[in-house]
Each structure stands twice: as structure tokens, then as C-alpha cells.
């Protein structure tokens, strides 16, 4: 499997306003490494970076890393991981960089803070050795494929991704998730539904494509049809308040991705302005540094 961080870093040079997210097996990395890599990604992409908390990689990776994850207190550990990582992103206040040539001050040392995190699972002194991300914190996506992941998403996700085979399932799942998030004072958590589109210029063509494809996970919506039909379905779900949007999971073949672009044209969404951060596009607020006076 390719490592997602160098992949999105390589896409930083593609001139576009699209967000760039990388999936990270958070059980097997350190807060300092993750905070540092995404501070770089967010700078290189001018505020388009996102982290996807991969909570499902555990079993596959345990043998490769040579360390299995403790199931009992996993959620508590992931929450502390998130806490520590965001402390590191906050450790430089937004205006810590001065580049004041006459006085010889590159940074304002008063605005860069040790975090002195000394918790149950992590001990990290800090500060991070990279300036605060453009977005404050890169956007955090959490795929919700288990009860545990749902509990974690309610506490830390900027955006939750849910598998749902029907609108009713999606509505129930997102309602439960949002209520859970509300309980932690995190109102209006956006939810995107996973969907696997199998598209063709005609219905027959799409069905032919679908026939060539092994059945995907039965929990996830699989759509077979034309771009116009797909666009209509997306609009219906959205208008019915099922979810805020979709996590599209096409096959990596250019024809299908081009057809997806046709759907976007049908939906006639406004083009985002240049140099808009991913947080702005998603309507998410920018977190302030917890260390700012």
C-alpha cells in the first residue's frame, strides 16, 4: 500500500482548490510525527490539508509493526492522541513568526510554548518544530465503521464519514452521531455518506461495468446508473436531510472519474474561490490556539 502522506504532498503542486486528505493508522504513529507531517502538508498546500483517522487498519498492521493494540482502552488512547496532537498544533501561536530583520528576530519566543503533556498514554514536551498549520488544525475526518469509532468521531471529528446502504440507515446513523456530538457541545457535526458509484453513459453501460465488479461491502451504498441519475440521487438524499454530503469511492479508472466530474456539472455547484482553505469550503470554524493570550 502506498503511504498517503507523500502522495498528497506530491499533489500540493497541482493548482486546484481541492482539499487533500491522507489516511493515517493512528494506533501506530506518534502525536509528534503526525502533527509535524500535517503542519508541513497544510503549509505546502496553503491550508488544504486533512487527516483521516484510520481506526480500521489495526488488525492488518499489528503483525507488520510487531505490536498489537490494546482493545480495552483504545478509545481513551485515541482521544488522548488527538488531544496531544492538537496541543502540538497550538504550540505555535498564529503570529509566532516575525521575520524581523532589523531586530534579528525570526520568531517571537513568547508565542511558542512547550506543551508538557504528561498523560496516561503519551508524554510529549513540545513545542512542535513547525509553525501552526494555516487552518489552525488540518481538518480531521473520522470514518465511522464501529461503535467505538462513533464514540471517537463524536468527540474529535470535524467531519464524520458513515457507511449506509439506504437513506433510512444513513439518517438514523447521522442522527445518533450528531446527538452524541451535541452532548459534548459539538453542535452540527457534518456527516458524509460513503457511496461507491458505478457509472456509465447509459444505464446498460453502467450495469455492464457493475457486472465486471466484485460485490463491495454490503454496508455501503452502491449506485449503478448514469451521471444524471447519480446526481439526482445525491440531491434527493441531501434535500431530505440525510447527510451533508458524500464520500465518493470510485474505482481508480479515468473514465469513471470523468463521469463523476459530469455529475458535479449536473449539480451545478458554485466554483470555490481561489486560495480558500478546506475548513472554509466545509464551513468549519478555525480553532484558536489554546495557548494564545
By CB under 8 A, name the one of 108, 244, 256, 280 that touches another protein. Answer: 108
Shortest distance, position 160 Cβ to another protein, whole Å? 26
Query: Which residue stretch of 41-49, 71-79, 187-195, 196-204 sits at the interface with another protein (rule: CB under 8 A)?
Result: 41-49
Shortest distance, position 96 Cβ to another protein, whole Å? 8
Any contact of residue 143 with another protein (CB under 8 A)?
no
Which residue is it, cell 475548513?
Answer: 279
Helix axes 31-44, 74-90, angle to 10 degrees: 50
Quote the strand ranges of 95-174, DSSP E: 97-100, 105-107, 117-118, 123-124, 139-143, 159-162
C-alpha cell read off for 72: 480495552
Query: Which residue stretch of 73-81, 101-109, 218-226, 256-264 sits at the interface with another protein (rule: CB under 8 A)?
Result: 101-109
Compute the distance between CA of residue 43 and CA of residue 131 in angstroms, rounded to an integer.
Answer: 9
Tell me the longest C-alpha to C-alpha distance in the chain.
71
DSSP reduced 3-state for 92: strand
Any contact of residue 293 with another protein (CB under 8 A)?
no
Any contact of residue 291 with another protein (CB under 8 A)?
no
Is there a contact between 189 and 177 (Cβ–Cβ < 8 Å)?
Answer: yes
By CB under 8 A, name the one of 20, 26, 69, 128 that touches another protein. Answer: 128
Of the pair 36, 180, the CB lying nearest another protein is at 36
Any contact of residue 65 with another protein (CB under 8 A)?
yes
Of the pair 131, 143, the CB lying nearest another protein is at 131
By CB under 8 A, name the one of 79, 97, 145, 165 that touches another protein. Answer: 97
Shortest distance, position 128 Cβ to another protein, whole Å? 7
Compute the distance between CA of residue 289 and CA of residue 93 in angstroms, rounded to an integer.
Answer: 6
Compute the distance between CA of residue 26 and CA of residue 49 in angstroms, rounded to an integer.
Answer: 16
Size of the site for another protein (CB under 8 A): 55
Shortest distance, position 31 Cβ to another protein, whole Å? 9
Of the pair 91, 150, the CB lying nearest another protein is at 91
By CB under 8 A, name the one of 41, 78, 177, 284 that touches another protein. Answer: 41
Quote the strand ranges of the chain, DSSP E: 20-25, 49-54, 97-100, 105-107, 117-118, 123-124, 139-143, 159-162, 191-199, 221-225, 245-248
CA of 150: how far to CAs of 14, 35, 154, 157, 191, in Å? 34, 23, 6, 10, 12
Summarize as ranges the residues that interact with another protein (CB under 8 A). 1-3, 5-7, 9-14, 28-30, 32-33, 36-37, 39-41, 43-46, 60-61, 63-67, 97-99, 101, 104-109, 112, 114, 122-131
Amino acid at each position: 500500500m502506498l503511504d498517503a502522506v507523500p502522495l498528497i504532498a506530491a499533489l500540493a503542486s497541482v493548482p486546484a482548490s481541492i482539499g487533500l486528505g491522507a489516511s493515517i493508522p493512528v494506533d501506530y504513529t506518534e502525536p509528534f510525527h503526525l502533527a509535524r507531517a500535517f503542519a508541513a502538508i497544510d503549509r505546502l498546500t496553503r491550508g488544504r490539508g486533512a487527516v483521516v483517522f484510520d481506526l480500521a487498519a489495526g488488525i492488518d498492521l499489528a503483525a507488520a509493526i510487531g505490536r498489537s493494540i490494546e482493545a480495552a482502552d483504545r478509545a481513551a488512547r485515541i482521544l488522548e492522541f488527538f488531544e496531544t496532537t492538537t496541543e502540538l498544533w497550538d504550540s505555535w501561536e498564529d503570529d509566532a513568526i516575525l521575520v524581523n530583520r532589523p531586530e534579528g528576530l525570526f520568531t517571537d519566543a513568547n508565542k511558542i510554548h512547550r506543551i508538557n503533556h504528561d498523560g496516561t498514554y503519551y508524554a510529549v514536551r513540545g513545542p512542535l518544530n513547525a509553525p501552526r498549520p494555516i487552518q489552525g488544525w488540518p481538518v480531521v475526518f473520522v470514518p465511522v465503521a464501529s461503535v467505538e469509532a462513533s464514540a471517537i468521531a463524536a468527540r474529535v471529528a470535524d467531519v464524520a464519514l458513515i457507511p449506509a446502504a439506504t437513506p433510512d440507515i444513513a439518517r438514523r446513523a447521522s442522527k445518533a452521531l450528531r446527538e452524541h456530538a451535541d452532548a459534548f457541545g459539538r453542535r452540527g457535526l457534518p456527516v458524509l455518506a460513503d457511496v461507491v458509484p458505478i457509472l456509465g453513459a447509459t444505464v446498460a453501460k453502467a450495469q455492464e461495468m457493475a457486472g465486471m465488479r466484485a460485490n463491495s461491502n454490503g454496508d455501503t451504498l452502491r449506485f449503478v446508473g448514469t451521471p444524471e441519475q447519480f446526481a439526482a440521487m445525491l440531491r434527493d438524499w441531501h434535500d431530505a436531510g440525510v447527510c451533508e454530503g458524500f464520500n465518493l469511492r470510485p474505482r481508480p479508472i479515468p473514465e469513471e472519474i470523468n463521469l463523476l466530474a459530469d455529475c458535479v456539472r449536473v449539480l451545478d455547484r458554485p466554483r470555490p474561490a481561489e486560495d480558500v482553505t478546506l475548513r472554509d469550503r466545509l464551513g468549519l470554524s478555525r480553532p484558536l490556539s489554546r495557548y494564545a493570550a
